[in-house]
Structure 1
């Protein structure tokens, strides 16, 4: 196991977010990363930011840091060695569950902890760590930065010449001339020009990631929440302090704007209310000087002021309120996991772990590669990009779908096709403060529908379908999109954000039909557990499969797991393990297990197994000691839809696990269903799954 120590070169370099971003980047490479913050950053009793988010987002078993007061007392009494013994014990506690890499975060430097630089160097040395220096391009020249890195490198270089893993530069201006900067740095620094300290990444400034929630602003200012609305989800990207007349300011009332105004500015209150009611998602309306609108104005604007528009009130005047806002703490609050999640992905995307490769123990063959959730998601996106497939989205003007399609185009995940009126899509995008990228394809269903009438009649002629009937059915954009897929004009279809599963699957069964060798359509969910990805099937399609159907579901699910890099060990689930129970339901699972072994002797499969016997090693060894699957299952096959759907939702909601899917199996071409509660990320990942399925179908 290798230890990496994250050390800042000066104050305010973004140490915690970079540490966790590197942790995510390493996990994407299939490494198991443990995290430790040896010494608490502040005297606060609250958990350190990095420790909190390591637990919440990376599900790391991160131990509590040594209290800063205790560390300072030890240093003041010359007991540094005792302190280091505690640090080593803490590091060992962090890796109790096993790890390929231990990532340790040092103390951020500030005006108060003048001892932190020397203490960080001692921590790195005692942990036998290679150090990653974290610096910033904010307010510094190339000459100063080169000296800073050179001095820091000397502090962390070991006597054997090792000890330096690389450096990261944060807060890079968007207009940065990277080539010129690197040339100047290398010209002024021996440690950089020699390659001893490789560059691991340059992370640019991102205003979107710095945007706090309206709720955070209210907490910071101690504001009275007059109407909470969407204060927990809306983000403040700009502040409009009303000093001018409304016509002069109207253009500033944009998505994400926090309008700061005295309550007696009736024109501003009415303008903000109108903007909100017209669909512009303002961050909120804040009344200053403890004021409120006149009753007549409040009554006139009540529809807006009591809706999902956040409304706040502060006692300070507008000038002092704006001044206070400019000094708001940039740290991410502990309950804003969405913002930190996006920040870590943003940083991880910009870090290059290749220079670290020679220093880290990578997973070796033979042996099974771990696939933690971050690695699964990362590979999913990379493979979808390589596939470059055209995916039709029949719910083309649904707001989440529009946002997901835009993200897919911007990230190159797929080539989405929105079926909707172009003007309606533009309005939906503008209402969310989004710009439609040039590569986003929008097809007007009214203009293309006639093209598919004759081919659909031909496909359904044996069922007596007539042209007028086909034209009527094609009014449904899901049917229209399915016909595009049947004719090979697109590579896959994703629907379900507003349609039921039946609405999505029925046209596919009628027009696409099952793949060769498949007699049914089933589904799997990819369950992103804290340390690995599991496959659950079938949790969305087949209500009560018989033994033959259950065996086919198991084989389809095993193939899906293998296709996405998940080791295949199939558990056929039941309420009893082995021969411990009997009854019709148990016998069905036994017969299905026999059929899978008969048809696919290459698969590791066992059943019947109870869930705990399949998933917990100690229980599996006790209940099924000779099983190759018990305690280590990766593919869980449920005996019926009632059990599967209930279990996946219980795990998803109670354990906070991301469930990607359902992904449909057994169709000739990929069609995938969404939950109607799907988030934008869910839709993006489902589009990526569909693109990869299309490639696999071509290979078959």
Structure 2
């Protein structure tokens, strides 16, 4: 029977999305066959999609369709109730659920959030649904602006009601607890519910999670965006109505404040723009102009001349009404809110008894290694021996966003290369929450080590015609400077390539760090995280047309990389024919490479030449290469040339929606890794984590 869990809330705004994110994240470490289900969604009107369903499906890239993720629309429920067909409601929901149950190992069910007027009926409906689906229950309470008694009372009622219905309650979570009440809530909760029987947790309130984006404010106020369209993702943590003198308003400014002021207060508009740019005042989220008139032309001209103005919104309502509406803006999590999602996961994992929760959910049988499991294991491996990684492109926003996650999760120590003022400006411009006190920033030319690095580069390259002046010029380049840091031991590894070419990243490493004694070339692999396993593809990024000797070396290096990351190497050297069936220069190269590799590592399982289908499919393998230890179960795939490898990895990635991590460079004495210029923030994080793990072997 499929494992499942039902999240039942005691009040609206309890933060189900945070808990759902945490549970799905936890379960994906055991199985990738996970689904999300809401028995009832509020709105099914054309174009409307439930926010929590979209968040979970898109962020975790679950394979189910949106239509599979819910049972009925609320309007359908009301129509059936009018016809006194309550049983039909339950039957329709069960039917939709059973369709999922046949496909997945675990289903997380999310109850309704009491957004309609009849909350008593909704609660009764939730209990009936949970009872009929046979789900164990996780009760989620809301402590925000509530006394301890008021926070616990609905939880106790819910628990009693579910147990009276024959449902098993396995856990209690209280969300949004104010700091001064958190510890007392924990103590009281453990007195009422024995920790050895229930998974318990008290999650503290976090203002950032409840802060709306300026874009949400603009949408819900039906505001016109006058300026700052590119900054609409900024969070508004505080709201300040300014009708006072500017000097008094300045004293009340807080970080990420949204200023609400009448359209004709030019002094306030100018003053707030200056305050935002001043190092002596907090960063602001934006300005809302009330009463709907056009800006004074002089003020408009001034703003249009600014390089990076704040978001400025215009509404037709008066100041009082606008302030009230802003206060009531409802914020939601979306799958691209990486900062909020990361924070949500941290809050969940650090405040819930995860061991008890996992024990309460029946142990899942792991089938292969899933992408989530693989990346989770990578992070744990990197944390086990923390390393220092230098990010050469410190002014690139994606690098800074990745650095935020890496630092907040304490995965690695980081150095960013670039001018500190420029990095700070990029952080402010893009609303990145990176804590610069927790990492090192180095401007290469201003570094006290610069001249020693120049000398180091000169000594390493003087035999190739390098002089001191040329070395000084090269050392100013971030890729050379970062490589020199790694070479001298001032960093354990380097990652670059988000805005530079592969050659720009690799050339300094080849010239300075150089290859291992037993490696003649540098090559690369991709970790291809498929639905039920992780494969290694090499070389898909560096060597255009390797010789037989080079191909053998790529195979052995790739196998060593696979083994280092917990993948048993079964190596397939690919060609257009299998075994002895093919003839020609290309297939002969692969045959010779296989022979060389076997002579060097007779203890490893190698096969080649072999076709891709024979390498991955057991039935094809039985026909084409019976008795092979590799055919049908290969884990390391070696392509004969870059053209084949690069196209194959991209085709597999696109057609199977596999997570491709790489390229990961191998063969260097110390790790340097290259990013694709189209890399995403998660790509950067994965590459840094792998670089850190590589450096643990040096």
Instruction: Report if TM-score (shorter chain) is over 0.5.
Output: yes
**Gap change, CA 1:400 and 1:580, over 3 Å in 2:** same
User: Does 1:151 find its partner at 2:157?
Assistant: yes
Task: Give the whole-Å Cα distance in 2 for the aligned partners of 1:336 and 1:248.
Answer: 37
Aligned twin of 2:110 = 105
Q: Which of 166, 182, 188 in structure 2 is aligned with 1:184?
A: 188
Task: Give the whole-Å Cα distance in 2 for the aligned partners of 1:580 and 1:84.
Answer: 61
Aligned twin of 2:298 = 296
Q: Which of 367, 377, 382 in structure 1 is aligned with 2:375?
A: 377
User: What does 1:195-210 align with in structure 2 at a 5 Å threshold?
Assistant: 195-199=196-200, 201-210=201-210
Aligned twin of 1:220 = 220
Task: Give the whole-Å Cα distance in 1 for the aligned partners of 2:622 and 2:222.
Answer: 56
1:145 and 1:185 in contact (8 A); partners too:
no
Comparing 102-111 with 338-347, which one deviates more in the overlay?
Answer: 338-347
Q: Which of 58, 61, 64 in structure 2 is aligned with 1:59?
A: 61
**Gap change, CA 1:428 and 1:304, over 3 Å in 2:** closer
Q: What is the deviation of 1:285?
A: 4.3
**Gap change, CA 1:249 and 1:354, over 3 Å in 2:** same
Task: Give the whole-Å Cα distance in 2 for the aligned partners of 1:348 and 1:580.
Answer: 57
Task: Give the whole-Å Cα distance in 2 for the aligned partners of 1:275 and 1:173.
Answer: 31
Q: Alignment partner of 1:157: what SS?
A: helix
Q: Deviations over 1:351-406 (max 9, x none)?
A: 44311333445455xxx753333333333222222211122334445555455445
Q: Which of 135, 140, 145 in structure 1 is aligned with 2:141?
A: 135
**Gap change, CA 1:652 and 1:88, over 3 Å in 2:** same
Aligned twin of 2:384 = 386
Q: Which of 91, 106, 122 in structure 1 is aligned with 2:97?
A: 91
Task: Give the whole-Å Cα distance in 2 for the aligned partners of 1:619 and 1:97.
Answer: 26
2:212 and 2:330 in contact (8 A); partners too:
no
**Gap change, CA 1:484 and 1:103, over 3 Å in 2:** same
User: What does 1:328-343 align with in structure 2 at a 5 Å threshold?
Assistant: 328-332=329-333, 336=336, 338=338, 341-342=341-342
Aligned twin of 2:345 = 345
Aligned twin of 2:673 = 672
Q: Alignment partner of 2:331: what SS?
A: coil
**Gap change, CA 1:336 and 1:674, over 3 Å in 2:** closer
**Gap change, CA 1:112 and 1:158, over 3 Å in 2:** closer
2:379 and 2:411 in contact (8 A); partners too:
yes
User: What does 1:409-448 align with in structure 2 at a 5 Å threshold?
Assistant: 409-422=407-420, 425=423, 429=427, 432=431, 434=433, 436-443=435-442, 445=444, 446=446, 447-448=448-449
1:482 and 1:512 in contact (8 A); partners too:
yes
Q: Deviations over 1:189-221 (max 9, x none)?
A: 2xx03743231x332222223333333222212
Q: What is the deviation of 1:327?
A: 0.9
2:234 and 2:285 in contact (8 A); partners too:
yes
Q: What is the deviation of 1:484?
A: 2.8
2:17 and 2:333 in contact (8 A); partners too:
no
Q: Alignment partner of 2:416: what SS?
A: strand
1:409 and 1:437 in contact (8 A); partners too:
no
1:286 and 1:311 in contact (8 A); partners too:
yes
Comparing 522-531 with 60-69, which one deviates more in the overlay?
Answer: 522-531
Task: Give the TM-score normalised by the residue count of structure 2.
Answer: 0.84
Q: What is the deviation of 1:132?
A: 1.3
Q: Which runs of 5+ in 2 are unaligned?
A: none
Task: Give the whole-Å Cα distance in 1 for the aligned partners of 2:629 and 2:171.
Answer: 43
Q: What is the deviation of 1:115?
A: 2.4
Aligned twin of 2:168 = 163
Q: Alignment partner of 1:66: what SS?
A: strand
1:406 and 1:437 in contact (8 A); partners too:
no
Task: Give the whole-Å Cα distance in 2 for the aligned partners of 1:468 and 1:609.
Answer: 52
Aligned twin of 2:500 = 499
Q: Deviations over 1:126-182 (max 9, x none)?
A: 33322111112223333344443333223333898x82221222112244442x323
Q: What is the deviation of 1:493?
A: 1.7
User: Does 1:518 find its partner at 2:519?
Assistant: yes
Task: Give the whole-Å Cα distance in 2 for the aligned partners of 1:580 and 1:257.
Answer: 72
Q: What is the deviation of 1:587?
A: 5.3
**Gap change, CA 1:270 and 1:82, over 3 Å in 2:** closer
Task: Give the whole-Å Cα distance in 2 for the aligned partners of 1:402 and 1:338.
Answer: 13
1:485 and 1:493 in contact (8 A); partners too:
yes
Q: Alignment partner of 1:304: what SS?
A: coil
Task: Give the whole-Å Cα distance in 2 for the aligned partners of 1:655 and 1:463.
Answer: 47
Q: Which runs of 5+ in 1 are unaligned?
A: none
Task: Give the whole-Å Cα distance in 2 for the aligned partners of 1:647 and 1:19.
Answer: 36
Q: Alignment partner of 2:145: what SS?
A: coil
Q: What is the deviation of 1:246?
A: 3.9
Task: Give the TM-score normalised by the residue count of structure 1.
Answer: 0.84
**Gap change, CA 1:311 and 1:544, over 3 Å in 2:** farther
Comparing 374-383 with 617-626, which one deviates more in the overlay?
Answer: 617-626
Aligned twin of 1:114 = 120
Q: What is the deviation of 1:419?
A: 4.0
Aligned twin of 1:211 = 211
**Gap change, CA 1:108 and 1:478, over 3 Å in 2:** same
Task: Give the whole-Å Cα distance in 2 for the aligned partners of 1:631 and 1:257.
Answer: 60
Q: What is the deviation of 1:291?
A: 1.7
Task: Give the whole-Å Cα distance in 1 for the aligned partners of 2:38 and 2:275.
Answer: 46
Q: Alignment partner of 1:514: what SS?
A: coil
**Gap change, CA 1:207 and 1:582, over 3 Å in 2:** farther
User: Does 1:544 find its partner at 2:552?
Assistant: no
User: What does 1:353-364 align with in structure 2 at a 5 Å threshold?
Assistant: 353-362=354-363
**Gap change, CA 1:435 and 1:70, over 3 Å in 2:** closer
Q: Alignment partner of 2:230: what SS?
A: coil
Task: Give the whole-Å Cα distance in 1 for the aligned partners of 2:195 and 2:158.
Answer: 16
Aligned twin of 1:236 = 236
Q: Alignment partner of 1:494: what SS?
A: strand
User: What does 1:217-616 align with in structure 2 at a 5 Å threshold?
Assistant: 217-227=217-227, 229-231=229-231, 233-250=233-250, 256-271=256-271, 283-304=285-306, 310-332=311-333, 336=336, 338=338, 341-342=341-342, 345-350=345-350, 351-362=352-363, 370-402=368-400, 404-405=402-403, 407-422=405-420, 425=423, 429=427, 432=431, 434=433, 436-443=435-442, 445=444, 446=446, 447-460=448-461, 462-463=463-464, 465-527=466-528, 533-566=534-567, 568=569, 572=573, 584-585=585-586, 588-589=589-590, 592=593, 599=601, 602-603=604-605, 608-610=610-612
Q: Deviations over 1:591-637 (max 9, x none)?
A: 55565566466347566435x78778999899989887778765554
Task: Give the whole-Å Cα distance in 1 for the aligned partners of 2:107 and 2:246.
Answer: 56
Task: Give the whole-Å Cα distance in 2 for the aligned partners of 1:415 and 1:172.
Answer: 32
Q: Alignment partner of 2:202: what SS?
A: strand
Q: What is the deviation of 1:97?
A: 3.1
For the aligned residue pairs, the C-alpha RMSD in angstroms reads 4.0
Q: Alignment partner of 2:93: what SS?
A: helix
**Count of matched residue positions in the alignment of Structure 1 and Structure 2:** 684
